[in-house]
């Protein structure tokens, strides 16, 4: 999924909080299952259940104290659950078929589909669900070749694969509905002339990034840029040329920043670049490189272009409005000092 869609995804802020509930709960359930099985515990449960209990507890602690670790904690927890369920199913189908059909562990298989939808980008979630379903089918096929199955097993497997196929199709439908909703949201946050995001989008991400600054103390910087003497460009060469200048500036911004940064058009000839995980000392050299890139920009018949830039680093007490105001003040100070320069707010 496009990173902007992920930012607008309403599930995104919930993933870590949901994991902080599910991981300790999973650890407790693994211990309960281990101790209630008594002597009848099978080799797969004997191996995996203690590992699940310890692993889930450790991952929950890591996620609690290091929120940025979510990028590997959530996939790790998901992979362990998927491996456990596939191992349990493989043990039943290949080594010790259950006389009643399938053991209760098989009922948990849909969990890996829906947890993949919860913890991963939509496209990857669908691919993982298909991989898990095909893996289960191959295990059943090998078990059938070994001649382990009786009518009760075939009936249980038919219901298992029928219901799991329905879950995967339902997951796919949910993904399409969700992405359609997000695409519609994305259109509402797009500047159609330059292809950049618009002011509404800037306010949205500023609010989210400032929450990270306040909660976790992560650095955040903001650049506000304004083309110098742009009114003269429109008056002298016409609005069509002015539009070409704005598009060229947008390309310079997108080509000069990181994937994690966000370039937006605030309105008219004013643009902004949001720089997560960036302190002022790192933002200033980037601002200078962008200023030089605009100075070297050629948009015939305009003889030359320049840009004034204001840069500010977020403080824990900042709101989106106050941070924008400080960067704006630095921008207009650059204008007053002769334009084509970078100032700090």
Q: Do 192 and 299 form a contact (C-beta atoms < 8 A)? A: no
- The vertex-280 CA angle with 277 and 283, nearest 5°, equals 75
Q: What are residue 98's phi and psi, to 5 degrees?
A: -75, 130
Going through the chain in order, the beta strands assigned E by DSSP cover 220-227, 262-267, 270-276, 307-313, 342-344
269 is catalytic: yes
Q: What is the DSSP letter of 313?
A: E
Q: What is residue 267's three-state secondary structure?
A: strand
CA distance 160 to 169: 14
What is the torsion angle, in degrees rounded to the nearest 10, for the CA atoms of residue 28, residue 29, residue 33 and residue 35?
20
Select which of 269, 270, 279, 288 is catalytic: 269
Q: What is the DSSP letter of 1?
A: -
- Catalytic machinery residues: 269
């Amino acid at each position: 999924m496009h990173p902007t869609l992920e930012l607008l995804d309403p599930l995104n802020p919930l993933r870590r909080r949901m994991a902080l509930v599910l991981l300790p709960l999973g650890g407790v359930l693994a211990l309960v299952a281990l101790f209630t099985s008594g002597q009848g515990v099978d080799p797969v449960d004997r191996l995996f259940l203690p590992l699940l209990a310890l692993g889930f507890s450790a991952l929950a602690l890591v996620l609690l104290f290091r929120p940025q670790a979510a990028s590997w904690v959530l996939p790790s927890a998901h992979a362990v659950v998927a491996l456990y369920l596939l191992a349990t199913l493989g043990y039943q189908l290949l080594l010790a078929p259950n006389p009643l059909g399938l053991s209760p562990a098989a009922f948990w298989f849909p969990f890996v589909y829906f947890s993949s939808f919860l913890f991963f980008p939509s496209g990857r979630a669908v691919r993982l669900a298909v991989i898990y379903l095909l893996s289960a089918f191959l295990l059943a096929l090998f078990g059938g070749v070994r001649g382990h199955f009786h009518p009760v097993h075939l009936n249980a497997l038919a219901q298992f694969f029928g219901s799991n196929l329905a879950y995967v199709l339902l997951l796919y439908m949910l993904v399409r509905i969700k992405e359609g909703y997000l695409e519609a949201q994305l259109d509402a946050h797009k500047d159609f002339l330059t292809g950049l995001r618009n002011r509404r989008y800037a306010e949205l991400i500023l609010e989210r990034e400032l929450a990270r600054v306040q909660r976790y103390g992560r650095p955040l910087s903001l650049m506000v840029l304004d083309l110098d003497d742009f009114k003269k460009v429109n008056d002298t060469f016409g609005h069509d040329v002015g539009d070409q200048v704005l598009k060229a500036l947008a390309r310079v911004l997108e080509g000069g920043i990181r994937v994690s940064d966000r370039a937006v058009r605030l309105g008219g000839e004013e643009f902004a670049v949001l720089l997560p995980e960036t302190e002022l000392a790192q933002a200033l050299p980037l601002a200078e490189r962008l200023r030089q890139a605009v100075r070297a920009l050629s948009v015939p018949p305009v003889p030359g272009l320049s840009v004034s830039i204001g840069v500010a680093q977020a403080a824990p007490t900042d709101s989106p409005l106050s941070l924008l105001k400080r960067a704006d003040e630095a921008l207009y100070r650059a204008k007053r000092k002769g334009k084509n320069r970078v100032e700090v707010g």
